[in-house]
Amino acid sequence: MPALSSQQRSLTRFLIEAQREGQINAELRLLIEVVARACKRISVAVGKGALGGVLGDAVAAGGDGGASINVQGEAQKKLDVLSNDILLEANAWGGHLAGLASEEMDHSQPIPDAYPRGNYLLLFDPLDGSSNIDVNVSVGTIFSVLRSPEGVAEVGDEHFLQAGREQVAAGYCIYGPSTMLILTLGHGTHAFTLDREQGSFVLTKRDMRIPEETKEFAINMSNQRHWEAPMQAYVRDLLAGKEGPRGKDFNMRWIASMVADVHRLLTRGGIFIYPWDRKDPSKAGKLRLMYEANPMAMLVEQAGGAATNGRTRILDVPPTQLHQRVPVFLGSKREVEEATRYHVDHD
């Protein structure tokens, strides 16, 4: 098995160099290492597919054999539950966290008394896009890191309610044809590919840059009739192509797996939109602010893109609830500004 060549940089070396440059401290370095290690374990479980007996819905504990339902009212997949357990277990004892919060848990969890408490809070969606697992399409883990407020004996949900601009790190791991970790520590967005033989993430793209202009959009068009007027107008103009006000033809992609859709736009540009719609007016969109929109917005901004809720910057949205939803417009800067303008001009 060949060792890493001198040109190759492992995640460990990248993080040590970031620490030497003063971008992170040892505790945050450990945190990222632990999350990456947990993602490697999730990658193995996802990769086994049917052979691992991990496909399909999770069964509710102590129930009548019905599906287990999470706090969002969605049926949990076996791999959702397994991925959540892997992240919880990996992060409990290292001494780098004060608490954790997850899409799959009603409330945040403080680190148990048996272990030392650290200065950071970790939020995650353990397996985003999990409705795609059974059809063998890319899924991923999304995570966000915040500082724990000082002087708090035991953290609760309210301590996690910090605006996205306060994130000290964010990333996702995509389980696709290759497993990749996309990471920002607030100094650019960087891509690492898992070398399965070495068992380590290797830096494969430093400073990803999203092209400012694009001809590609990603949206679930089946919701079109439920959108508000400016959203209807924006997409109508995209679909009008060269003959329309935008003067160019647009292509459409929708994987229905946010990590895969965002990974495409980080790689070659594009705009990703999950807008508010009238299907359920009580919900402000489908995606969750704290562990989906905020980390993706930080990664996209750090790669030169933009991220709004259609009106304002996502990273400035004040959170009021742990599982709060938010409309999401992110990707190529000029295109996100254009889509946002349709909404602001309409108001």
Nearer to ligand AHM, 204 or 267 (CB): 267
Q: Which does 4 bind (CB under 5 to 8 A by kind): Mg ion, ligand AHM, none?
A: none
Residue numbers 79-118 binding Mg ion by CB under 5 A: none
Asked if 278 interacts with ligand AHM (CB under 6 A), we say no
User: CB under 8 Å to 120, separation ≥6 — which residues?
Assistant: 27, 28, 31, 96, 97, 98, 145, 146, 147, 148, 168
SS3 321: coil
Instruction: Report the binding-site residues for substrate.
Output: 128-131, 220, 286
Asked if 129 interacts with ligand AHM (CB under 6 A), we say yes
Asked if 221 interacts with ligand AHM (CB under 6 A), we say no
SS3 235: helix
Instruction: Report the binding-site residues for Mg(2+).
Output: 103, 125, 127-128, 292
User: CB under 8 Å to 51, separation ≥6 — which residues?
Assistant: none
Cα separation, 341 vs 337, whole angstroms: 6
Q: Which does 338 bind (CB under 5 to 8 A by kind): ligand AHM, Mg ion, none?
A: none
The count of residues interacting with ligand AHM (CB under 6 A) is: 13
CA 250 vs CA 243, 246, 269, 334: distances in Å: 11, 9, 12, 14
Instruction: Report the binding-site residues.
Output: 103, 125, 127-131, 220, 286, 292
Asked if 74 interacts with ligand AHM (CB under 6 A), we say yes
Cα separation, 231 vs 140, whole angstroms: 28
Nearer to Mg ion, 125 or 216 (CB): 125
The runs of H, that is alpha helices, within the chain are 11-20, 26-48, 78-92, 157-160, 229-239, 258-268, 294-302, 333-346
Of positions 104, 125, 195, 335, contacts Mg ion by CB under 5 A: 125
Asked if 335 interacts with Mg ion (CB under 5 A), we say no
Residue 142 Cβ vs Mg ion, minimum distance, rounded to whole Å: 7
**String marking each residue 281-300 x if it binds ligand AHM according to CB under 6 A:** -----x--------------
Query: Which tokens is 10 given?
Result: 């492992």
Of positions 257, 294, 302, 309, contacts ligand AHM by CB under 6 A: 257
DSSP state of 78: H
Cα separation, 4 vs 248, whole angstroms: 45
Asked if 277 interacts with ligand AHM (CB under 6 A), we say no
Beta pairing class for 216-218 and 251-252: parallel
Nearer to ligand AHM, 59 or 137 (CB): 137
Contact residues toward Mg ion (CB under 5 A) are: 125, 128
